[in-house]
């Protein structure tokens, strides 16, 4: 059995039992998304117009480009959800392809609405999460290995190999959400006085961090 088939089967059997615990149960065979707008409240395409192409996605056959806001950390991420893959709509799952340059990182972040399982397609990745008791569960996982990140817990990844690493992340939600810790703290409008006391940082240090992590910043 090829590695790609193993990944697809794994994602299917992983997400299927827990869909009811995350997204609403579908009431029809499928609901092909159309008129994708800024939100995820998508209308269903007429099922009589469906073709096999609606259920096939080719957008992650190769890695994305290392550019834009994640380039400075060596991360390229291609999310796959109902906006880009209409066949996923209402099925309670989504996924992402992440590529990491050597020493590249996926900074600490969490998904408020989903558990994630990461399958290493290529490379060696230091991978882990932090629980609510501030315990770190982390180790280097290699090609063919998987790791689960429990819902809403902060997790992270770093390529510790000499070649590009590739990871496929599967979520048990159509809209898992994504919150990066650094951006949430320093890229939002939290009062500087509070951040000073919370982290022991000076105004100069805070200004530098705010400049780096505000949404307007481009890497």
Q: Which positions make up the binding site for Mn(2+)?
A: 109, 111, 116, 155
Known binding residues for oxalate: 106, 111, 116
Tell me the residue length of the chain.
219
Pairs from 34-38 (Cβ < 8 Å, separation ≥ 24): 34/86, 36/82, 36/83, 36/86
Nearest-angstrom CA–CA distance, 55 and 53: 5
For 204, the token pair is 């100069």
| Selection from 116, 122, 163 nearest residue 142 by Cα | 122
Query: In whole angstroms, what is the distance from residue 166 CA to residue 181 CA?
Result: 22
Residues contributing to the annotated binding site: 106, 109, 111, 116, 155
């Amino acid at each position: 059995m090829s590695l790609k088939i193993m990944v697809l089967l794994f994602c299917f059997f992983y997400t299927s039992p827990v869909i009811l615990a995350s997204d609403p149960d579908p009431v029809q065979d499928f609901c092909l998304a159309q008129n994708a707008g800024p939100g995820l409240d998508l209308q269903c395409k007429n099922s009589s117009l469906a073709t096999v192409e609606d259920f096939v996605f080719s957008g992650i056959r190769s890695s994305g480009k290392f550019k834009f806001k994640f380039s400075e950390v060596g991360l390229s991420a291609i999310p796959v959800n109902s906006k880009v893959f209409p066949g996923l709509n209402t099925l309670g799952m989504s996924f992402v392809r992440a590529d990491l340059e050597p020493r590249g990182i996926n900074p600490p972040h969490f998904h408020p609405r989903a558990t994630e399982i990461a399958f290493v397609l290529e490379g060696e990745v230091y991978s882990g999460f932090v629980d609510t008791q501030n315990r770190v569960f982390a180790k280097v996982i290699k090609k063919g290995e998987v790791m689960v990140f429990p819902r809403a817990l902060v997790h992270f990844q770093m390529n510790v190999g000499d070649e590009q690493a590739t990871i496929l992340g599967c979520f048990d939600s159509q809209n898992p959400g994504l919150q990066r810790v650094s951006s949430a703290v320093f890229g939002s409008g939290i009062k500087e006085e509070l951040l000073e006391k919370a982290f022991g940082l000076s105004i100069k240090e805070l200004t530098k961090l705010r400049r780096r992590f505000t949404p307007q910043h481009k890497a």
